[in-house]
Chain A
Amino acid sequence: MNRPIDAALSQDRPAKRAIRQLWLREVRRHPANGNPIYLTLPGTEGKDIDLLINEGVIATTETGAIAAEDIGKVVAVESNSEAVLSLQRKYPGLRIHNNTLESLMNGGGPYAWPNKNISRDMRAKVVNIDLDKSLRAECGEEVSFPLIKIIKKISQLHRERPNAEPAEPWSLCVTVNSTIEWPEPAVRFFFRFLANNCSEHQTFKESAAATLGDNLVNRIIAEYQSLTFNHIDPDDRAKLLCIFLPKLIMCEINDHHWEAIDCSTLSYGGNEGHAAMTTITIAFRVSNAPIPSQRYASNICNIFPGLGRVLDNGTIELG
């Protein structure tokens, strides 16, 4: 079995190591009570699981199997059966769902929900969706992003716990290829969405201008109906995605009363044969803000302090 995703996930270059450290930071952010603590799409190599084992987050037995008391702490999602076998060989006892994330969640629709066990696993303290693909857009009656719909459902599962238990803080990590290959309506949606936020939220506009420059922000506001990605410098394009993606997530999960208390959006790669990637980590807690617009305004302003780039040597450069 030779899949590009496995090659991408097994990379041990400094930038990728730095990102795994961010995931570890999120795992440590939350108390380790209750399972699972980490849900991941690890590929066949499971480097992130290696890290959790090496850092003592998960214990293993003398044969390398996941220790009985830690079974269920980590949950993997992998659709390919042979990849499941590779993972199971590497980590006997690891809980693995042999399916796509989308199928497990019964799609992004609001009516069909996963069963009890899958719901439990989706309520992991850290949900890490590490993809090598770019964000896919679907253009029907309206533009939608299937991945974001899934994230929205996951956030709702976190909010609505069984037996009316109170919602607990959690973290979301998402990594996608920075390439944007969307149909025209999705491109239009992208620019309009950014333009609206810049128009409606002064703080957001100022922060965006500090990152992208006044010129580009003004262009977005003025030309959102005609602007295309071809008109924009590749570096700025990556920055735009870094702003758009968390903003879109904040927007979608706003109904579920989550407050982003910490957010990093970093770009990396894009050189020496490595694909340009965008990675986000957001730590959530239940928001006390009663008004949705207040919550949203606060959340999108939290995006900017964590914007940056992971350099090839693994250094994180913010701003």
Chain B
Amino acid sequence: MAHPGFYVRRFALPYPPTKYRSHKLMDNRLSGEILVASRIVDYLSSGLYESPAACLKELVNNAYDADAKLVELFVKPDANRIIVTDDGTGMDSQDFKRNFSKISESFKRESTDRTESSRPKIGKIGIGFIAANEICDIMQIISTKKGSREKIDIEINFKAMRMPDEERKRPGDSFTKADYEGTVSQAHPDEHYTHIFLKEVRGPAQELLAGARNRGESKSLYGLSPKTIAQRLRDPNLRSWEDFDFYSQTMLEVALNVPVPYVDHWATKKYDEVLSSFTNRANSLDFRVVFDGTELRKPTLFEESDESFVKTFQYEGKDVSFESYFYVQHGVLKPQDLNGVLIRIRNSAVGKYERSFLGFPSSIGTLFQRWLSVEIWADDRLESAMNIDRKTLRVTHPAYLELVDAFHVQLRAALNEAREKLYEQPSRKKKRIRYKQELDIIKEVSEAARTSVSSVTADQMSAEQNHRVLLKKYSAIELIEIVLDVSKRTLSAKERKLLMDELVREVLSK
């Protein structure tokens, strides 16, 4: 969802993103090396994150990559200052200089794409901290690294990047993103943490996060336990997460994206077993995020329903492999935010639930598409298809194309199953019930007729009178229908055909 006023376009005029260096002219041929000016990163970061939630989840994912087990976020009371703190490996001054002094180079996956504890790193090109730049003017980092006696306390001033070019330019055509200054003090070598303070949070982001832009009487999830939040999310009256205030929507978006566990019985107890591989996978990551004192769990929760089913699939392909589940229930999914397909790569979600089901024709099973929620946990090969915004995938990437094809096959199967299990079978069942009710009526009528007839002497009861008694209660058409229904249950096909022929002849002769 785009929020008016959040985007800040910093540079009105285009700036050439490339320059030519060490070019040479030989035999009328011009050759040379094209270098990307560091300022291109400014362009990339500008508006990169569509909402404050996107920035926060980027910082949480950074903590995950630092092997943190616990991340705490503090946004309330007014989001003027946001704190993100983790118990990850931390940084010393060397790490800081390496990672921050020139952000166009990344060391995140320099030697390995796994963390010390073998977690697959979510971040790839080291621009996660630019997220901070999108929502605040000053970022303070206090950190110490395990085994190091250094504690750094550094303040980065993002305001610098909004200075005129001539003031921002450094020798060698390198642009400084933000100036920093700080201190190094003593720390105990056993300590390891990173505290990030986002200060002077910029107006629109602050207003949104603090809930100042709430519409009317929005509900809030602030200060609630995971159990209570689960109850609120399962409230049948909840149409969408937008029924909550923006603060809560931010909380839910972060929870959806980052590698936190699912709520117990998230898809109801009935499906615990069939979905256990997904539940166990998320829980085994040993990663907790606490948001203003509330522990976050994935907000993927489905309500108790007899008319639902879950289908899991596994796909092993040439360019991509993935595991997915399809949750289908009779009726439109609520909250509607869960309707669609959510892709996870390296345990982190790519954007939100995508409601076009990766370009699946909307004409196929239109009704059932709205009954469906899908998660796809893809393998690392899909990562290279991910755009820098981490919320979309490149539609031309071979891994993505293969995933889409395989997914659409699964989706067709799921939609067919939905049609059969949740629509046609119940429809047949309903018909059976209706027939049974009609039969009961016939029995009742027959009984009533018998009683009525027995009170009249046989010689008084002419065929004509019998007809009148029945026609008082039923029309001729209804009587024929009743006769046909009874014949279905009591006669063989041959006899039924004979009866039909006789009836048709009789009706036509009238």
Q: How far is the CB of B185 from chain A (nearest CB, A)?
A: 11
- Taking CB atoms, residues of chain B closer than 8 Å to A94 are 77
Contacts A81-B142, A92-B293, A93-B292; A62 near B76 (Cβ below 8 A):
no
Chain A CB within 8 A of B83 CB = yes
Of A67-75, A133-141, A267-275, the one contacting chain B is A67-75
Interface bits B76-89 vs A (CB < 8 Å: 1, else 0): 11100101010000
CA distance A82 to B153 in the complex (A): 10
A98 within 8 A of B: yes
A95 to B74, CA, bound (A): 11
- The answer to whether B147 has its CB under 8 Å from any CB of chain A is no
- A61 in contact with B222 (CB, 8 Å): yes
Residues of B within 8 A of A68 (CB): 220, 222-223
Give every chain A residue within 8 A of B77 (Cβ-Cβ): 66, 71-72, 93-95
Q: Identify the closest chain B residue to A67 (Cβ).
A: B223
Q: How far is the CA of A93 from the CA of B225 in the complex (A)?
A: 15
Determine if B294 and A63 form an interchain contact, defined as CB atoms under 8 angstroms apart.
yes
CB-CB under 8 A from B446, the residues of chain A are none
Q: Is A319 an interface residue (CB 8 A)?
A: no
Whether B142 pairs with A65 at a CB distance below 8 angstroms is no
B197 contacts A by Cβ under 8 Å: yes
Please tell me which one of the listed residues B85, B220, B224 contacts residue A62 in the complex, with CB atoms under 8 A apart.
Answer: B224
For chain A, which range describes its interface: under 10, 10 to 19, 20 to 34, or 35 or more residues?
20 to 34
Bound CA–CA A96/B140 (angstroms): 16
For B224, list chain A residues within 8 Å (CB): 61-63
- The distance in angstroms between the C-alpha atoms of A63 and B294, with both chains bound, is 6
- A85 interfacial contact with B, CB 8 Å: yes
Contact present for B85 and A85 (CB under 8 Å) = yes
Beta-carbon contact of B76 and A71 below 8 Å: yes
Q: Tell me if B58 is interfacial: C-beta within 8 Å of chain A.
A: no
CB proximity to B under 8 Å, residues A230-251: none
A202-259: which residues lie under 8 A (CB-CB) from chain B? none
The 8 Å CB contact of A93, one of B76, B81, B199, is B76
| Chain B residues with CB under 8 A of A84 | 81, 83, 197
Question: Contact check: which of A65, A66, A82 meets B294 at CB < 8 Å?
Answer: A65
Residues of B within 8 A of A95 (CB): 77-78
List of A residues within 8 angstroms of B225 by Cβ: 62-63
Q: How far is the CA of A154 from the CA of B85 in the complex (A)?
A: 34
Distance between Cα atoms of A88 and B294 in the complex (Å): 13
A280 to chain B minimum Cβ distance, whole angstroms, is 29
Asked if A64 is at the interface (CB within 8 A of a chain B CB), the reply is yes
Is A25's beta carbon under 8 Å from chain B?
A: no
Contact between chains at B223 and A62 (CB < 8 Å)? yes
How far is A137 from B199 in the complex, measured between Cα atoms in Å? 33
Which A residues lie within 8 Å of B222 (CB)? 61, 65, 68, 93
Asked if A88 contacts B223 (CB within 8 A), the reply is no
B223 to chain A, nearest CB (A): 3
Mark each residue of chain B from 93 to 124: 1 if its CB lies under 8 Å from any CB of chain A, else 0: 00000000000000000000000000000000
Contact indicator B292/A98 (Cβ below 8 Å): no
List the A side residues contacting B72 at CB < 8 Å: 89
Contacts of A64 in B (CB 8 A): 293
Report the Cα distance A93→B199, complex, angstroms: 16
Report A-chain residues with C-beta under 8 Å of the C-beta of B83.
84-85, 88
B446 to chain A, nearest CB (A): 63
Q: Which of A82, A89, A92 touches B76 (beta carbons < 8 Å)? A: A92
* Cβ contact within 8 Å between A98 and B293: no
CB distance from A33 to the nearest CB of B (A): 19
Task: Tell me whether A63 and B223 are in contact (CB under 8 A).
Answer: yes
CB proximity of A251 to chain B, nearest CB, Å: 36
Mark interface residues in B281-294 (1 if CB within 8 Å of A CB, else 0): 00000000000111
* Residues of chain B contacted by A89 (CB below 8 angstroms): 72, 74
Question: Does B228 sit at the interface, judged by CB under 8 A?
Answer: yes
Among B127-154, those with CB < 8 Å from A are: 140, 142, 153
Contact partner, B293, options A63, A71, A81, Cβ 8 Å: A63
Does B57 have its Cβ within 8 Å of any Cβ on chain A?
Answer: no
From B81, B223, B224, residue with most partner A Cβ within 10 Å: B223
> B74, B197, B224, B294: which has the most chain A beta carbons within 10 Å?
B74
B298 at the A interface (CB under 8 A): no
B54-82 vs A, Cβ < 8 Å mask (1 yes, 0 no): 00000000000000000010101110010
Contact at A85–B195, with CB atoms within 8 Å?
Answer: yes
Among B294-317, those with CB < 8 Å from A are 294
A169 to B385 CA separation, bound complex (whole angstroms): 64
Is B223 in contact with A81, judged by CB distance below 8 angstroms?
A: no
Interface centre among B78, B199, B224, B293, by most chain A C-beta atoms within 10 angstroms, is B293
Q: Are A65 and B292 in contact (CB under 8 A)?
A: yes
Measured in the bound complex, the distance between the Cα atoms of B292 and A88 in whole Å is 8
Query: A63, A95, A98 — which one has the most chain B CB atoms within 10 A of its CB?
Result: A63
Establish whether residues B78 and A98, one from each chain, have CB atoms under 8 Å apart when the complex forms. Answer: no
Which chain B residues border A65 with CB–CB below 8 Å?
A: 76, 222-223, 292-294
Residue interface bits B257-296, CB-to-A below 8 A is 1, else 0: 0000000000000000000000000000000000011100
Interface 0/1 of A88-108, CB less than 8 Å to B: 110011111010000000000
Q: With a CB–CB cut-off of 8 A, which chain B residues contact A96? A: 81
Beta-carbon contact of A81 and B195 below 8 Å: yes
| Residue among A60, A66, A84, A93 having the largest count of chain B Cβ atoms under 10 Å | A93
Contact B197 A81 (CB under 8 A): yes
Contacts of B294 in A (CB 8 A): 63, 65, 92
Quick one: which of B76, B142, B195, B294 has the most chain A CB within 10 A? B76
In the complex formed, the residue of A with least CB distance to B292 is A92
A89 to B: closest C-beta gap in Å: 7
Bound-state CA distance A65–B223 (Å) is 6
Give B226-264 as 1s and 0s: 1 = Cβ < 8 Å from A's Cβ atoms: 001000000000000000000000000000000000000
Say how far B441's CB is from chain A's closest CB, in angstroms.
Answer: 55
How long is the Cα–Cα vector from A65 to B76 in the complex, in angstroms? 10
Contact of A98 among B142, B153, B199 (CB under 8 A): B199
Contacts of B85 in A (CB 8 A): 85
**Complex Cα gap A93–B292 (Å):** 7
Q: Which of A162-188 touch B at CB < 8 Å?
A: none
Most buried by A among B81, B222, B228: B222
Interface mask (A40-61 → B, CB under 8 Å = 1, otherwise 0): 0000000000000000000011
Q: For residue A97, give the distance in angstroms from its CB to the closest CB of chain B.
A: 9
Q: Is the CB of A92 within 8 A of B78?
A: no
Residues of B within 8 A of A71 (CB): 76-77
- In chain B, what residue has the closest Cβ to A59? B223
Residues of A within 8 A of B223 (CB): 60-63, 65-68, 92-93
In the complex, the chain A residue whose C-beta lies closest to that of B247 is A68
Sampled A-B contacts (12; CB under 8 Å): A63-B223, A63-B225, A65-B76, A66-B77, A71-B77, A84-B83, A84-B197, A85-B85, A88-B83, A92-B74, A92-B292, A95-B77
Where the two chains meet, the residues of A that have a C-beta atom closer than 8 Å to any C-beta of B are 60-68, 71-72, 81-82, 84-85, 88-89, 92-96, 98
The 7 residue pairs across chains A and B that have the minimum distance between CB atoms: A61-B223, A92-B293, A65-B223, A92-B292, A63-B293, A65-B293, A93-B76
Q: Other than A71-B76, A92-B292, give 7 A-B pairs with Cβ distance below 8 A.
A: A63-B294, A65-B292, A72-B77, A88-B83, A93-B292, A94-B77, A98-B199
